[in-house]
Structure 1
């Protein structure tokens, strides 16, 4: 009897670990918020659970996640596709900015396999200021259908208000739950206003992750498998000094 009970508990624990884990994980870009014209800028793409500092080794990324697209959009709207190299716990790419202004880095991937009747769509972005660029609202530069943007990313400071805009299909994502995760794992959900904007004041220095997840109640077929909805996730990392 004890053996059966122990097996049942073990099975339930395994299901709790395996099933929700996928949705606790996200893809995100890390790069410096500022750069120098003519000097290589490093871009890193991670997969894992940011709040737990749980980074998945690149060799263990599920399905075809490693086939993500990575594009740099210059201030003059020139798009350059980058090739990323697998390292132990991330993928790494470089580009050399040749203009002053705000560069937008866009990562996107629709997962090949349907998971629990859902098509999974991962998105991430970052903005890099080159030179003494004037702050501009460049959120629309992002080509992903779901995205986040902060005009305060390059100047983010501890105990200073940070504003973040959420967009869906190039429009303000109104009344949506946006999650902010602090460097120590503390997290909070904030509802966006009528302009698709949230605000928060960072109490600690370090990297903050902003996540916006949205589920489309749309059925269809993807690579020969039926799905009932499309789960989309956007991430945006802000380094607070």
Structure 2
């Protein structure tokens, strides 16, 4: 009995000091890349391991992750807060476009609990093209501290180059590691150039995930617990035809 108890305590200790990847997985938005004025657009928020197609049931999301904020920004910069409803494997929300251009959907959440010595900060976004207008199709529409964006998302095609921009604190994220995950779980790590850009040509059709994670060395206190680092992740889904 003592041996089992010791093993349980040891496992818990290791979990608390381990990399946030154990806890963090990824939080991401899925929606159609195009929408229609006057028609409700579905927004889904998932949590899990995208590369393994491992989706965590909404009832098992850790800490206060379910309390994420979700905002849609219209092409004319009007912001609307969305309310998401828990389904079995995701949270779901809707908005109805009323103008032509590109809408930006932004998710953000700083986790209440500090894990080990890290504060966890999740960010995700998606863009929806309505009509043929390019108004609003810009990375700056997303005000999150860390973000990923592509002007090509609405026209993404197999074997055609897709350009992606990474931003941190409103500036180009230069020489940063950006991960691209293919629909079959294949992963590739790319380094952004001096403009904070990467590009890739998708081999297969389907959903690709772009992830940008950054760990800031910053000590502080969060909800009564000290931390030494802030782990930040941005996700962006690209559907390739």
TM-score range, shorter chain: over 0.9
Deviation of residue 134 (structure 1)? 2.9
| Residues 25 and 220 of structure 1: CA distance in aligned 2, closer, same or farther (over 3 Å) | same
1:174 corresponds in structure 2 to 174
Aligned partner of residue 217 in structure 1, secondary structure: strand
Question: Does the CA contact (< 8 Å) of 2:164 and 2:199 recur in 1?
Answer: yes
Is 1:237 the counterpart of 2:237 in the alignment? yes
Report the 3-state secondary structure (helix = DSSP H, G, I; strand = E; otherwise coil) of the residue aligned with 1:228.
strand
TM-score normalized by structure 2?
0.92
Taking only aligned residues, the RMSD between alpha carbons, in angstroms, comes to 2.4
1:24–1:49: 8 Å Cα contact kept in structure 2?
Answer: no
3-state SS, counterpart of residue 218 of structure 2: coil
State how many pairs are aligned. 237
What's the offset of the Cα at 1:22?
A: 2.9
Counterparts of 1:75-86 in structure 2, within 5 Å, are 75-86=75-86
Deviation larger for 135-144 or 68-77: 135-144
Q: 2:75, 2:135 within 8 Å by CA — same for their partners in 1?
A: no
Counterpart in the other structure of 1:144: 144
2:64 — aligned with what?
64
Q: How far apart are the structure 1 equivalents of 2:150 and 2:23?
A: 24
Q: CA deviation at 1:148?
A: 0.4
Partner of 1:226: 226
Gaps of 5+ in 1: none
Distance 2:49 2:18 in 1: 14
Q: Output aligned runs, 1:101-140, within 5 Å.
A: 101-134=101-134, 137-140=137-140
Match of 1:134, SS state, is: coil
- Change in Cα spacing, 1:15 to 1:221, as seen in structure 2 (3 Å) is closer
SS of aligned partner of 1:99: coil
| Aligned partners of 1:162 and 1:201 also within 8 Å | yes
**Aligned ranges 1:164-203 → 2 under 5 Å:** 164-203=164-203
**1:60-107 Cα shifts (integer Å, max 9, x gaps):** 000000000000000000000000000000000000000000000000
Displacement of 1:133 in angstroms is 1.9
State the Cα deviation string for residues 117-176 of structure 1 (Å, max 9, x = none): 111000000000000123765100101000000000000000000000000011000000
Within 1, Cα distance between the matches of 2:56 and 2:167?
28
